[in-house]
Amino acid sequence: MDKAKAYSAAGATTPLALDTIPRRAVTDRDVKIEILFCGICHSDLHTVRNEWSSVMETVYPCVPGHEIVGRVTAVGAAVSRHEVGDLVGVGCLVDSDHTCPACRADMEQFCPGAVFTYNGPDRHLGGVTYGGYSESVVVDEAFVLRVPANLDLAGVAPLLCAGITTYSPLRHWKVGPGKKVGVVGLGGLGHMGVKFARAFGAHVVVFTTSPEKAKDALRLGAHEVVNSRDADAMAKHAFSFDFILDTVSADHDVNAYIGLLSLDGNLTLVGAPEKPLPVSSFALLFGRKSVSGSLIGGIAETQEMLDFCGEHGITADVEVIPIQQVNEAYERMLRSDVKYRFCIDMASLKNA
Ligand SMILES: [Zn+2]
Ligand SMILES: [Zn+2]
């Protein structure tokens, strides 16, 4: 067993602070990664503060981080996909049972035995898994992604969660040329949704409650921006959307958006508001509309997404910070004061 520097939270109300954590010795199937960048996802904050205790209780100390980019420093004897020196990424998953129907269909995210990158059951060391706010990580090669060499690495890190979370439903619902697509919310997820929907060739409309974001939405690739508080502006788009990606994690009125879907239109939720959202059945009946959810993506699709980003020069818009500013970044994230994702430069942990 090795040790690694990390930032951990000792409890739900404790700030993240420097710590030392165990990392397993590299097994035959493992890849050891020196972490270069780690994005800050809203899930990190929810988990650190035990806000999802009804679904999964947080075990402390908690080391979050599932938007990991780094360089391979060691590989096990049986590893065939990665070599020392390779640029690689790790997202929300580090293991699964490899045998269930979901795994066989390349959808490990829905595996009942899926192991999440942090706060998941650690099958090697016991306790829970520790995430990417750390100098290194050891991961089964099957869950390690290849990172295109032409992209800015800080901007790649958020692709591993925010990227695949938006890419997967846009692909599933066949967003492409000739389709009118809405993106609700322009944060970490929404700004990636806009970039992908545009790159797929769709007509992209951003809905936001912050009109000052309009210019930025257009810069990111939107064709139109609608202030969702403006009833007249909303009414102009009634029954016109093939697909709407709803990235909002706060309480909001989904029926206002269902009304904008056309025949057989779909609205997919990728945010997770705390309380159930009321859905009007009438809004669904008239037009055979549907509301769905989507959760990250499988490993094969995550690789496809990274390769697509490499070909099209797509990365997240990030504000790079040293790890010493992570607690401040959490407070700013709560105020939506970030364009559009914080990313930790892990070199800052070396001298910590
Ligand atoms: Zn995430
Ligand atoms: Zn499985």
Q: What pLDDT does residue 352 have? A: 80
Q: Find the ligand nearest to 270 CA.
A: 1
120 C-alpha vs ligand 2 centroid, how far in Å? 15
Q: How many Å lie between the centroid of ligand 2 and the Cα of residue 344?
A: 31
Which pLDDT belongs to residue 259? 97
Separation of 188 CA from ligand 2 center, angstroms? 28
Instruction: Name 266's bridge partners.
Output: 243, 290
CA distance 248 to 252: 8
pLDDT reported for residue 165:
98
173-177: list long-range contacts, CB under 8 Å, 24+ apart: 173/242, 173/243, 173/266, 173/268, 175/200, 175/202, 175/242, 175/243, 176/200, 176/201, 176/202, 177/201, 177/202
| Amino acid (one-letter) located at 46 | H
Global confidence as pTM: 0.97
Contact 314, 162 (CB under 8 A): no
Cα 94 to middle of ligand 1, angstroms: 14
* Å from CA of 95 to ligand 1 middle: 16
Q: Which one of the ligands is nearest to 39 CA?
A: 1
Please give the span between the terminal C-alpha atoms of the chain, in angstroms, as a whole number. 22
Q: And the tokens for 245? A: 């990606």
User: Which pLDDT score, from 0 to 100, does residue 163 have?
Assistant: 98
Could you tell me the distance, in angstroms and rounded to a whole number, from the CA of residue 95 to the centre of ligand 2? Answer: 9
The alpha carbon of 71 and the centre of ligand 2 are apart by a number of angstroms equal to 27
- Please identify which residue in the block is written with the tokens 């407070």: 331
Q: What's the 272 CA to ligand 2 centre distance in angstroms? A: 23
The residues, ordered by sequence, that sit 6+ positions from 41 with a Cβ below 8 Å of its Cβ are 64, 66, 67, 158, 161, 162, 188, 341
The tokens describing 83, both together, are 């070599």
Looking at the CA of 44, which ligand is closest?
Answer: 1
Closest ligand to Cα 112: 2
Q: How far apart are CA 109 and CA 295, in angstroms?
A: 7
Q: How far is the CA of 42 from the centre of ligand 2 (A)?
A: 26
Q: Which ligand is nearest to the CA of 298?
A: 2
CA of 165 to the centre of ligand 1 (A): 8
Q: Which residues surround ligand 2, an ion (CB under 5 A)?
A: 96-97, 100, 103, 111
Report every protein residue that has its C-beta within 5 angstroms of ion ligand 1: 41, 43, 161
Nearest-10 Cα torsion for 141, 116, 316, 204: 110
**What separation in Å is there between the alpha carbon of 160 and the centre of ligand 2?**
20
Mean pLDDT, each 10-residue run in order, the chain (352 residues): 96 98 98 98 96 92 98 98 98 97 98 98 97 98 97 98 98 98 97 98 95 94 96 97 96 96 98 88 96 98 98 98 98 94 97 82
State the distance from the centre of ligand 2 to the C-alpha of 162, rounded, in angstroms.
22
